[in-house]
Structure 1
């Protein structure tokens, strides 16, 4: 009933907006951009280099409504508008990253040194964001040869060396780029970063999370003429070491762990056809992606039989392949984008040999788990009236479970976005997105042959509503550009299910999340400044018991500020800070059946970075920074066991001195 009423409400709003559009008159208006988009655009490859970004936290930490917790790179987890990024859509060069390998580690295997563009869209209001979007979509693009090549240059390179004291992180990146002829360009980038002891803000020294990142990109761009462009890229990521498997948990000063690693191999082919026609702007993406957790051979004891055993090296694999074909056409006031996409995801366990017990019995650890196939059709019409931009869209999904699971789900999801230029400074906004996410595969590492699917496996469905405005302050503040924005949103997810220990694909709760986002940015000459405040709250109801409690990210206020100033043509400074006041939340334990009130402590953290480009050394850049300047001891509120009643939690890294030198040749 709730879904039907939501769709009726959306239809009524569309009808009213259409009447308003018919009555608008043509005027010369200053188009006010989105305050959130302005914040996202600040995450440029240049900005990432100046801040010596080296993990997903460095990439995303400045964005409103985004929280990244955890100290070690492989344990960092991302939350957007109250839920994990697993309830969004994450792509690298168009390749979709999906699934969960292990519930105590993160899944965004992203190396900042390879990035050119990071795009984040909040909410499920666009039909173009891909399948299964509940809270967000992350679009990562790797660097092209043209991002390095200067005019007339045929071949070049860049070497970057760095060190970070808080992680004892020693890093090096080499990029080689060139132009074979006027039609073919290439780039190759390789990065190695070794982490030693973590120095936490509470004084602990953690040796059980040592790791080594090896990351690489090879990309070939072929442009036979002005209308056609082909991009073939291969991206490899491997982060491993003799370290504890549970990256998000508290570590120790000992390191007697077996080797494990998280890796990703991504191959993509992109094609663009842009002739001199307003009816054709065609884009095609085809990809394969393999993300896997490797554990080395080891010994152990069976908790049931008491027998000891030896087992071989194992790989826990989430693989995906798919395509996305779309075209955009301009027809009068309409920009119509339509297309189709397909995603096939599969999970499996591969072992080098059998597990052998002390009584000579054996066990085959190889196992094929679940599969999903999602066929999608989508259409979006962006209509630009005089003062009004109305975007209507819809997505249809045919979602099928396979492997050890079964089930078919067909669903139509309407979408809507509205922008109304009320004055030459003020833009009013509204959005609606129907939510559909097919039953996702459970975490792969805990997959076993004893998994039994629930008899009532359901898709996650819901509705997202949001309102907001953007107001240009450029003239009022005599700025080059300045904007203030505010959003309020509410969405619900029925049949919500986590991937953790959920091999039955059971629905676990109904969730409602709401919150606000306030954003401000200002640029004037050599100065740039941005600030944001976000608040997230919500409620959750356990389907088995009917008990109500708070989502983990409820009651959290986050204040963020950032500033940069170019002191001279050679010297630039960047500053950022985050403040989160303490709060209380009601946590529910499905094991004990109890709801417990916990407190989370106030914290604030400050970072500063300096960039020096000496005129006497034009191809050389020096970066120096201090993360957590005041060496604060703190835990982000979304982190594992963040409540202040326990000491068994993962503190963030303390004061972190960062040095980096780059030379271009």
Structure 2
């Protein structure tokens, strides 16, 4: 990477200066810069708060991230929705819920992230490789889900309260939730939430029923938290989420009216413990411990029958925040153990006829990750903020069922600055690296063929370099920014499908690859521009963004079918949103989003290599325009009663989201390969009672 020597020099110099100043100066009481913007990626990061989610009446990941330029969500089915940041799939994103990572892949035809929007106090989207504190595998960035606690909801003069909500979706379902929260003592509070939703198959923009999209979801959540005057704080939470549906064989592909549907169930349980202590001088300690378990069951009635996959993660993160002179330094280490398993669940006679080994119907992989990091933010004078950091990561993977393993470790560095050029105008530039070894695999593809390799014997870890620069201008009620980024991933680790042999001149010529074989397949490049602008005057506000991203693997565009698990390409997109809030009890918003055509994406390279087809093919992603409307109204002087209304896809646009798999139906032998058409017009009405 071209910036390595420069980055190493800047990072070590700034960190050395920080530690030198810390030893020479006494700790001062000052405002910590830990809460200011991070430098690398600052211009494209964004926060989503609970007020936004309530205005959107968010019921899915698409709703949660609808206003985030760098994020696209594909897949009309809730369980199958996948998140992409700058073209990279959520397998390349560090996702946490209250600090608990949501890692691994259960099944490549469903999404990796599931969350109930009703629980969320805030969602932080941090784009691209950036600070050393972002966690393991933050290749495309990080998404931080933060859940509500009792103090977020209780009024100061109350020790008990609750909120009940009911939502009707015209296309086609309903949702209800109830939360109770209270103070056990002046410092300690508890909240409990139950959410249930039920939906039938929705209709697309043409008015046609989209089979295999109905589902029921149920969630229970409890959180005990305390915040004490002496600087101590803690929280203990547990969440259990369950979704049941009759889905197609591949849930992110369309289901024909006469095709089989299979009973499917996805569950997740997450327990998190957080403790913090902060001194008056701004020094702090933060500890997080977590356990998470996710499962997916598919009750197939054909081929090998029922099958299930499970991922269990347990670990911790310990960090200290030191406010030393002019520096804020975060240092810590994290570790977690991951286990993924897959299992035939039908009777022996059914699955043994399909298995590679009739004596083995259970498969398991275990991974161990350790990371240590340090990140410094230093403001040498008022106009300049410098950041620098370093991180060490170690990855161990063991295929417990088979005799294969891989281990890797490495360092990554980052550095950047934010400088106030003029009053209201800031210049931002930064470079960051990330490191990722091979992690646990896909729960539905853990089985290995006899005498075949799943991992390339010389498998190398992925290394990432992310350069970003831009400007932000703030004046009065106006704020605008423009950012350019250029990211490169070397030694991309990818699953090469299809049995094949090593080259005859290879030292491994006598070995044979498995039908799911992990290899370093080349270099991934992602470049883009993101422009944002917003203006507010009295009760009126308007915002807009334009997003352009070019994602290529070895010089060619990627697509979500052939590059499943890595990423996809989306067309240029822009949004215009206008709002009117005449008073605290009434608000209106209208939003227009457009994706431009992205045509002639060349694909099926691997199929040509394997001889499945004679030449590569081309697929298109037609553009689309969607208009959404939102309104909230509190009819009384208090917040006791609130009504919300929304119209998604006002003009019943028929479209396939660019973040979904493109349409391959015109290619002989690939009929049926496509994403699922998105929901047509959907009118949502919510009534909420707060007491």
* TM-score normalised by structure 2 residue count: 0.85
Match of 2:51 in 1: 46
Q: Does structure 1 residue 94 correspond to structure 2 residue 99?
A: yes
- Structure 1: which 4+ aligned runs deviate by more than 6 Å? 12-18, 31-40, 358-362
CA contact (8 A) 2:75 2:252 kept: yes
Match of 1:581 in 2: 596
Q: Does structure 1 residue 550 correspond to structure 2 residue 563?
A: no
Shift in Å, 1:47? 1.4
Unmatched 5+ stretches in structure 2: 19-34, 498-514, 560-567, 610-614
CA contact (8 A) 2:579 2:590 kept: yes
How large is the Cα RMSD of the aligned pairs? 2.9
CA contact (8 A) 2:154 2:161 kept: yes
Which among 235, 241, 247 is matched to residue 231 of structure 1?
Answer: 235
Structure 2: distance between partners of 1:316 and 1:33: 39
Secondary structure in 2 matching 1:49:
helix
Secondary structure in 1 matching 2:662:
coil
After TM superposition, the structure 1 stretch with the greater mean CA deviation from structure 2, 352-361 or 600-609, is 352-361
Q: Deviations over 1:592-613 (max 9, x none)?
A: 2443333322211010011111
Secondary structure in 2 matching 1:50:
helix
Match of 1:567 in 2: 582
Q: Does structure 1 residue 261 correspond to structure 2 residue 281?
A: no
Which among 533, 547, 563 is matched to residue 546 of structure 2?
Answer: 533
Shift in Å, 1:378? 0.3
Secondary structure in 1 matching 2:167:
strand
Q: Deviations over 1:149-169 (max 9, x none)?
A: 111212221111111122x12
Q: Report 1:316-395 matches (<5 A).
A: 316-350=309-343, 354-357=347-350, 363=358, 366-386=361-381, 387-395=383-391
CA contact (8 A) 2:196 2:218 kept: yes
Match of 1:461 in 2: 463
Secondary structure in 2 matching 1:249:
coil
Structure 2: distance between partners of 1:454 and 1:588: 24
Secondary structure in 2 matching 1:107:
coil
Structure 2: distance between partners of 1:512 and 1:352: 41
CA contact (8 A) 1:441 1:499 kept: no
Match of 2:6 in 1: 9
Structure 1: distance between partners of 2:363 and 2:570: 41
CA contact (8 A) 1:207 1:254 kept: no
Structure 1 residues 14 and 247: alpha-carbon distance in aligned structure 2, compared to 1, 3 A threshold: same
Secondary structure in 2 matching 1:128:
helix
Secondary structure in 1 matching 2:397:
strand
Q: Report 1:30-429 matches (<5 A).
A: 43-166=48-171, 168-223=172-227, 225-253=229-257, 256-278=260-282, 280-296=283-299, 299-301=301-303, 314-350=307-343, 354-357=347-350, 363=358, 366-386=361-381, 387-404=383-400, 405-429=404-428
Match of 2:22 in 1: none
Q: Deviations over 1:163-188 (max 9, x none)?
A: 1122x121100101111122321001
Match of 1:517 in 2: 530
Structure 1: distance between partners of 2:129 and 2:574: 24
Structure 1 residues 14 and 39: alpha-carbon distance in aligned structure 2, compared to 1, 3 A threshold: closer
Q: Deviations over 1:22-68 (max 9, x none)?
A: xxxxxxxxx99799879866621011111100111111121011111
Structure 1 residues 41 and 495: alpha-carbon distance in aligned structure 2, compared to 1, 3 A threshold: closer
After TM superposition, the structure 1 stretch with the greater mean CA deviation from structure 2, 505-514 or 350-359, is 350-359
Match of 1:614 in 2: 635
Match of 2:507 in 1: none
Structure 2: distance between partners of 1:187 and 1:32: 29
Structure 2: distance between partners of 1:347 and 1:540: 28
Structure 1 residues 182 and 649: alpha-carbon distance in aligned structure 2, compared to 1, 3 A threshold: closer
Structure 1: distance between partners of 2:347 and 2:682: 45
Q: Deviations over 1:422-468 (max 9, x none)?
A: 11211111111112111122211122143633212221113111111
Structure 1: distance between partners of 2:346 and 2:420: 65
Secondary structure in 1 matching 2:536:
strand
CA contact (8 A) 2:47 2:125 kept: no
Structure 1 residues 555 and 613: alpha-carbon distance in aligned structure 2, compared to 1, 3 A threshold: closer
Structure 1 residues 382 and 165: alpha-carbon distance in aligned structure 2, compared to 1, 3 A threshold: same
Shift in Å, 1:146? 0.8
Which among 603, 609, 631 is matched to residue 624 of structure 2?
Answer: 603
Match of 1:305 in 2: none
Unmatched 5+ stretches in structure 1: 22-30, 303-310, 542-547
Secondary structure in 2 matching 1:556:
coil
Match of 1:591 in 2: 607
Structure 1: distance between partners of 2:224 and 2:530: 40
Structure 1 residues 299 and 209: alpha-carbon distance in aligned structure 2, compared to 1, 3 A threshold: same
Aligned residue pairs, count: 628
Structure 1: distance between partners of 2:194 and 2:621: 40
Shift in Å, 1:104? 1.5
CA contact (8 A) 1:349 1:365 kept: no
CA contact (8 A) 1:184 1:221 kept: yes
Q: Deviations over 1:324-383 (max 9, x none)?
A: 111111111111110000121111125667523499999566524222111111001111
Structure 2: distance between partners of 1:126 and 1:37: 10
Structure 1 residues 616 and 530: alpha-carbon distance in aligned structure 2, compared to 1, 3 A threshold: closer
